[in-house]
A and B are shown apart, each in its own frame.
Chain A
Amino acid sequence: MDNSTFETKSVITGPMHASLKHDSAHKHVTGQAEYIDDIPEPAGTLHGGLGLSDRAHAEIVSIDLDAVRAAPGVVHVLTAADIPGFNDVASTGQRDEPLLATDLVQFHGQPIFAVIAETRDQARRAARLAKIEYRDLPHWTDIDGARQNGAPLVVEPMVLTRGEPQTEIEKPPLRIQASMTIGGQEHLYLESHIAMAIPGEDDDITVWSSTQHPSEVQHMVAHVLGIANHAVTVQIRRMGGGFGGKETQGNQFAALAAVAAKKLDRAVKFRPDRDEDMAMTGKRHDFRVEYDVAFDEDGRIHALDATYAARCGFSADLSGPVTDRALFHADSSYFYPHVQVRSQPLKTHTVSNTAFRGFGGPQGMLGAERIIEEIAYALGKDPLEIRKLNFYGQPGSGRTTTPYHQEVEDNIIARVVEELEASSDYQARRQAIIDFNANSPVIRKGIALTPVKFGISFTMTAYNQAGALVHLYQDGSIHLNHGGTEMGQGLYTKVAQVVADTFQVDIDRVKITATTTGKVPNTSATAASSGTDLNGMAALDAARQLKERLVDFACRQWKVERKEVEFLPNCIRIGEDIVPFDTLVRAAYYDRVHLSAAGFYKTPDIHWDRKAGRGRPFFYYAYGAACSEVSIDTLTGEYMVDRTDILHDVGKSLNPAIDIGQIEGGFVQGMGWLTTEELWWDDKGRLRTHAPSTYKIPLASDRPKIFNVRLAEWSENPAATIGRSKAVGEPPFMLAISVLEAISMAVASVADYAVCPRLDAPATPERVLMAVERLKAM
Chain B
Amino acid sequence: MSSAIRFILNGEDVTLGDFAPTDTLLDYLRLRRRLTGTKEGCAEGDCGACTVLVGRLTDHGLAYEGVNACIRLMGSMHGTHVVTVEHLAAKDGALHPVQQAIVDCHGSQCGFCTPGFVMSLYGLWLSNDAPSRADIESALQGNLCRCTGYEPIVRAAEQVAANRPSALFDPLERDRAEIMAKLWSLQSATDTITVEKDGSRSVIPASLEAFAEALSQEPDATVVAGATDVGLWVTKQMRLLSPVIFINHLSELQSIAADGEGITIGAGVSYTEAHGFLEALIPAIGRLIDRIGGAQVRNMGTIGGNIANGSPIGDTPPPLIALGAQLTLRSHSGRRTMPLEDYFLAYGKQDRLPGEFVEKVLVPRPAENGHFAVYKISKRRDEDISALCGAFNMTLDANGRIEAIRIAFGGMAATPKRAKHVEAALIGQIWNWATISAARDAFDEDYQPLTDWRATADYRSLTAKNLLTRFFLETAGAPTELRRFEMEDA
Contact = CB atoms under 8 A, between A and B. Distances in A.
Contact of B85 (A31, A240, A631): A31
Point out which of B42, B382, B478 has the most chain A C-beta atoms below 10 A from its C-beta.
B42
B61 interface: no
A676 B385 CA distance: 13
A192 B146 CA distance: 12
Given A30-B88, A275-B236, A667-B149, A764 B99 contact: no
A243 interface: yes
A636 interface: yes
A632 B145 CA distance: 25
30 contacts: A25-B106, A26-B103, A29-B100, A29-B102, A29-B118, A31-B38, A31-B86, A32-B37, A33-B111, A190-B47, A190-B110, A191-B110, A238-B111, A239-B110, A241-B110, A442-B473, A638-B377, A661-B109, A661-B148, A665-B148, A691-B46, A692-B46, A697-B146, A698-B149, A700-B136, A700-B153, A701-B484, A703-B150, A766-B387, A769-B463
Contacts of B25: none
A633 to B, nearest CB: 5
A605 interface: no
Given A190-B49, A700-B140, A28 B482 contact: no
A28 B111 contact: yes
A774 interface: no
B141 A489 contact: no
Contacts of B247: none
Contacts of B148: 661, 664-665, 668
Interface in A239-262: 239-243
Nearest 3 A/B pairs, CB to CB:
A31-B37, A488-B110, A240-B112
Given A488-B147, A696-B379, A766-B456, A631 B482 contact: yes
A38 interface: yes
A295 interface: no
Nearest to B455: A766
Interface in A640-673: 640, 657-658, 660-661, 664-669
Contact of A701 (B27, B84, B88, B382): B382
Contacts of A273: 43, 235-236
Interface string B202-224: 00000000000000000000000
Given A124-B238, A631-B482, 8 more contacts: A22-B108, A189-B146, A241-B147, A274-B44, A633-B481, A637-B459, A638-B482, A701-B137
Contacts of A664: 148-149, 151-152
B381 A29 contact: no
**What's the interface size class on A, roughly?**
35 or more
B106 A696 contact: no
Interface in B452-474: 452-456, 458-459, 462-463, 466-467, 469-470, 473
A490 B109 contact: yes
Contact of B111 (A27, A635, A668): A27
Interface in A128-142: 128
Given A275-B236, A693-B42, A699-B150, A238 B467 contact: no
Contacts of A275: 236
A101 interface: no
A162 interface: no
A190 B463 contact: no
B118 A21 contact: no
A190 B118 CA distance: 15
B150 A694 contact: no
Contacts of A125: 238
Interface string B77-113: 0000000111011000001000110111010111111
B384 interface: yes
A532 to B, nearest CB: 14
Nearest to A709: B151
Interface of A: 1, 21-22, 24-35, 37-38, 40, 121, 124-125, 128, 187-192, 238-243, 273-275, 442-443, 487-490, 631-633, 635-640, 657-658, 660-661, 664-669, 676, 678, 680, 688-689, 691-694, 696-703, 705, 707, 709, 764-766, 769-770, 773
Contact of A30 (B89, B155, B232, B459): B89
Nearest to A668: B149
A302 B144 CA distance: 45
B482 A633 contact: yes
Contacts of B459: 637, 766, 769-770
Contact of B383 (A658, A699, A765): A699
Contacts of B166: none
Nearest to A678: B379
Given A442-B470, A635-B466, A707-B151, A189 B480 contact: no
A26 B94 CA distance: 10
Nearest to A676: B380
Contacts of A490: 109
A700 B380 contact: no
B41 interface: yes
Contact of A669 (B34, B110, B146): B146
B106 A22 contact: yes
A487 B462 CA distance: 43
Contacts of A443: 480, 482
A699 B141 contact: yes
B263 interface: no
A37 B49 CA distance: 14
B154 interface: yes
B466 A636 contact: yes
A275 B467 CA distance: 34
Interface residues of B, number: 89
Contacts of A33: 111, 114
Nearest to B294: A699
Contacts of B232: 693
A658 to B, nearest CB: 7
Contacts of B95: 26, 29-30
Given A661-B148, A664-B152, A696 B380 contact: yes
B39 interface: yes
Point out which of A238, A636, A700 has the most chain B C-beta atoms below 10 A from its C-beta.
A700
A37 B147 contact: no
A274 B37 contact: no
B392 to A, nearest CB: 14
Contacts of A487: 110
Interface string B364-403: 0000000000010101111111010000000000000000
Contact of B36 (A1, A37, A635, A766): A37
Interface string B436-453: 000000000000000011
A700 B95 CA distance: 24
A242 B138 CA distance: 27
A267 B359 CA distance: 50
A669 B145 CA distance: 10
A639 B378 CA distance: 11
B75 interface: no
Point out which of B35, B46, B467 has the most chain A C-beta atoms below 10 A from its C-beta.
B46
Contacts of B49: 190
B115 interface: yes
Contacts of A442: 470, 473, 478, 480
A28 B108 contact: yes
B118 A700 contact: no
Contact of B379 (A187, A488, A666, A765): A765
A697 B144 CA distance: 8
Given A240-B110, A769-B459, A30 B99 contact: yes
Given A243-B146, A661-B106, A676-B380, A699 B41 contact: no
Interface in B143-175: 143-155
Contacts of A243: 146
Given A28-B114, A31-B84, A35-B112, A190 B144 contact: yes
Interface string B170-193: 000000000000000000000000
A25 B100 CA distance: 9
Point out which of A30, A128, A192, A658 has the most chain B C-beta atoms below 10 A from its C-beta.
A30
Contact of B149 (A40, A635, A689, A703): A703
